[in-house]
Amino acid sequence: MPKEKKFKTLKIVFSARMLVALLMGFSCGLPLMLTLTILQAWMKVEGVDLAVIGLMTLAGLPYTLKFVWAPVLDRYVIPVFGRRRGWLIIAQTLLMLSIVGLGLTDPASHPFRVACAALLVAFFSASQDIVVDAYRREDIPDTELGFASSLYINGYRLGMLLSGGGGLILADYLPFSMVYLLMACCLVPGVLTTLFAPEPKIYGTPPKSMKAAVVDPLVEYFSRKSALWVLAFILLYKIGDAMATAMATPFYLDMGFSTSEIGVVVKVFGFWATLAGALLGGLTTLRIGIYASLWVFGVLQVFSTASFALLVHAGHSIPALAGVIAFENLATGMGTAAFVAFMATMTDRRFTATQYALLSSLMGIPRVIASAPTGYAVKFLGWEMFFIFCALMAIPGLLILTKSSVFSVRTNALAKKD
């Protein structure tokens, strides 16, 4: 690499913008486990009925429906702090208070109050996600979005690790109310980041009314020639990976791996492999761009998913499991970094919050819909053919990439116009 280009890359990697992306990712990832793993553990310890514990997962609905109130965050500007930082300060402050409030509830005596408190945590957490996604898109140039997205993803995963793993460990020594209080305090760095980070530049003219905030983003998006191709790509690019992941744990157990082996190799080792993959993916986008990265990482995802079929023949082999997990998680981490950056570039900066919230909600559909029948697919095909089938399911998404140049040009034109 020429010295000038290497210096430019290092300047981007160690810039303040990238540190902000990492810290904001951490703040977004931390609350997620507080309404899932930690809350479920707390309710189980308190003797709450399993049916009620299962219903509590509905508290996560705001993450899926965040596009409903995203136009409000595009339409209104908070005085002093600005459109993005203003809403972020509000969301983070109310999120911290709602986490503390959730910790003060009593799951055994008042499960309905717990549900309401958990719903508030998820709502303000999802609101934080909306604004952070919009901030990252508006603050960072398109050429740097891939690496910024990788740092955001890694920060998000570290936040989940702290609240999920760290929270469970702390619960052995402290009351759950104290665990929630400590987790709320862990959001302070995110608030400080928001206070000291610059407000992104406003591109074009933001919506002047709520009608414009709701309608204009849809009109602008669907006026593009490639709008439907982009939606199809978002739905299909990671569908094979999502289907394979849905049945991964039963597969490991069928292959004779113990739960401790799965925990160490798949969860711990795999976690760090995913972080490494996201970081490597982000760096690669700086070198070859988002479009080329989607091709490279997409092909790697196909082969990494297919590699599970080899594990069928290897059987109970820790080295084989570690090799497959390393390959699959590296490919997944790289693909996710480029994919998240791609979705950001598909938004018009005038309506970033609304358009990104819609696209990211669509991203989650395959994980739910396509993953639902995977158990039947395994029964019909067997493990080896199932993973080969999952790998082949990724090919339609790659074929759609042949049209990526069309909507890539469209996005660049929008950015220049604004």
Regarding predicted confidence, which is higher, 94 or 222? 94
Predicted local distance difference test score (pLDDT) of residue 297: 94
Together in a domain, 197 and 228 = no
What's residue 368's pLDDT?
Answer: 66
Cβ neighbours of 120 (radius 10 Å): 20
Nearest Cα to Cα of residue 63 among 123, 120, 117: 123
Q: Please say whether the beta carbons of 291 and 405 come within 8 A.
A: yes
Name the one residue in this structure whose structure tokens are 């309905």: 112
Closest among 2, 10, 21 to 283, alpha carbons compared:
10
Q: For the beta carbon of residue 399, count every other beta carbon within 10 angstroms.
A: 10
Residue finishing a domain among 202, 227, 242: 202
The pLDDT value recorded for residue 259 is 81
Q: What are the C-alpha distances in Å from 331 to residues 120, 194, 297? A: 35, 32, 6
Same domain as 405, residue 256: yes
Same domain, 194 and 268: no
| 166 and 84 belong to one structural domain | yes
> How far is residue 5's CA from residue 282's CA, in Å, rounded to a whole number?
16
| pLDDT at site 409 | 43
pLDDT in tens, 299-324: 999 999 999 999 999 989 999 999 99
195 and 276 part of one domain? no
User: Could you read off the pLDDT of 111-126 as tens digits, one per residue?
Assistant: 899 999 999 999 999 9
205 contacts 216 by C-beta, under 8 angstroms: no
169 and 219 in one domain? no
Of the candidates 125, 65, 142, 131, the one whose C-alpha atom is nearest the C-alpha of residue 361 is 65
Residue 279 counted as domain residue: yes
In which region does residue 391 sit, left (phi positive, over 0), alpha (psi from -120 to 50) or beta (all else)? alpha
pLDDT value at 411 more than 50 = no
pLDDT, one tens digit per residue, over 268-308 is 898 999 999 999 999 999 989 898 999 999 999 999 999 99
Tokens, residue 68: 């409903």
Query: Do residues 358 and 227 share a domain?
Result: yes
Indicate the pLDDT class of residue 153, thresholds 50, 70 and 90: very high
State which residues form the domain around 376: 214-417
Domain assignment present for 207: no
Hey, what are 186's tokens? Answer: 């862990």
pLDDT at 414: 44
Helical H segments across 247-317, by residue range? 248-254, 259-261, 270-288, 290-314
- In this predicted structure, what is the pLDDT of residue 5? 66
pLDDT at residue 412 is higher than 50: no
Residue 8: pLDDT over 70 = yes
pLDDT tier at 226, thresholds 50, 70, 90? confident
In a domain, 327, yes or no: yes
Same domain? For 280 and 179 the reply is no
Q: Which residue has the higher pLDDT, 60 or 279?
A: 279
Q: Confidence band (pLDDT; 50, 70, 90) for 3? A: low
* Confidence class for position 416, pLDDT limits 50, 70, 90: very low
Q: How confident is the model at residue 1 (pLDDT cuts 50, 70, 90)?
A: low
- Of 202, 227, 260, which closes a domain? 202
CA distance 127 to 73: 9
* C-alpha dist (Å) from residue 209 to 44, 75, 157, 368: 47, 7, 36, 34
Residues 127 and 238 occupy one common structural domain: no
Assess whether 257 and 124 both reside in one domain.
no
The angle subtended at Cα 293 by Cα 292 and Cα 297, nearest 5°, is: 125
User: Considering the chain, what percentage of its residues have pLDDT values greater than 70?
Assistant: 94
Helical residues (DSSP H) of 140-201, grouped into ranges? 145-161, 167-170, 176-185, 188-196
285 and 377 both lie in a single domain: yes
Is residue 417 predicted with pLDDT exceeding 70? no
pLDDT of 407:
53
Same domain, 233 and 162: no
Domain count, the chain: 2
Q: In the predicted model, what is the mean pLDDT of residues 67-83? A: 91
Tell me the per-residue pLDDT of 96-105, one tens digit each, with 9 for 90 and over.
999 999 999 9
CATH code, 248 = 1.20.1250.20
As a whole number of angstroms, the longest Cα–Cα distance in the chain is 66
Say yes or no to pLDDT of 249 above 70.
Answer: yes
Position 321 in a domain: yes
